[in-house]
Amino acid sequence: MIEFSLQIGTRIIRAILPELKKFFVVSPEFEDYTQVFPDQDDVDFNEAWIEGLANDAKSDRSALARFLESPRLQYGRVEVKEEDIDDLLRGITELRFTIRKTSLKNFDDSVLECGMDNLNLKDESVRIGYFGYLLLAEVQEKIICEIA
- Which residues of the chain carry a pLDDT beneath 50? none
Q: What pLDDT is recorded for position 122?
A: 74
Q: Where are the domains of the chain?
A: 2-147
Are the C-beta atoms of residues 79 and 2 closer than 8 Å to each other?
yes
pTM across the whole model: 0.81
Are the C-beta atoms of residues 134 and 104 closer than 8 Å to each other?
no
Handedness of CA 42, 44, 48, 54 (dihedral sign): positive
The residue among 82, 27, 91 whose CA lies nearest residue 59 is: 91
Q: Could you report the per-residue pLDDT of 83-105, keeping only the tens digit for each?
A: 999 999 999 999 998 898 888 88
